Amino acid sequence: MPLYLVPHPGECVPGRDPRFQLMARFTAPGAAEPDDMQLVLTSWLDLRPTPMLAEAAGAEVVAALRVALLCPSGHGQLLLSSSDPMAPPRIELNFASEPEDMRRFLAGLRLAWQVANAPGMAGALQRIACLDEAIISSDSRLTEYVRTHVGTYRHALGTVPMGVDDDPCAVLDQHCRVRGLDSLSVVDASVFPTVPRI
């Protein structure tokens, strides 16, 4: 979940400046697990491939302070669309579909807003695009912002989790063998049942 930070002219240049600057992990208020969130500062994000977003931000290249939810309560689905092995699967991401995930996103965005407006950060950018104090202070408006801007953090995992025999979500056994099929194993991050974060 990004906060788009509009840089001063000559700053945040793709290809010149390092892309990722820092990451801070934290625990959302009331979270069931520690270190369930991250703030990640990206020093440039090229918005030219998404003209509508570039127009909304008022800049083609921005920095971003991203709020990452590492322990979502909600889960997506990867489903076969047909028996044809060449047919693409049906992917349902279901980002922020659970109320607890949305609550933590709102808390994380409000923390990121405070960080971006702190004296040390505020002077390093022209403004924050697409958000203002009225949106940040309104649960309903900030929820709409989440639904509009939520995306993946590239932790593609958990689509074929392993587990014990009586776990209905465990497609694989403890040796990563696909249940119900002979001679087929899965050996990538899709076997991870949870996001590594500590």
Domain covering 2-154 assigned CATH 3.30.560.10 in the classification: yes
Residues with Cβ within 8 Å of 111's Cβ and at least 6 positions away in sequence, in order, are: 26, 39, 67
> What residue type is 56 in one-letter code?
A
What 3-state class would DSSP assign to 83?
coil
Q: What is the pLDDT of residues 137-156, one digit of tens each?
A: 999 999 999 999 998 876 66
Distance CA 185, CA 176 (A): 5
Boundaries of every domain in the chain: 2-154, 155-198
- pTM flag (> 0.75): yes
Judge whether residue 117 has pLDDT over 90: yes
Predicted pLDDT of residue 154:
65
Mean pLDDT of the chain: 90
Q: What is the pLDDT of residues 118-142, one digit of tens each?
A: 998 899 999 999 999 999 999 999 9
Question: Catalytic residues, which ones?
Answer: 155
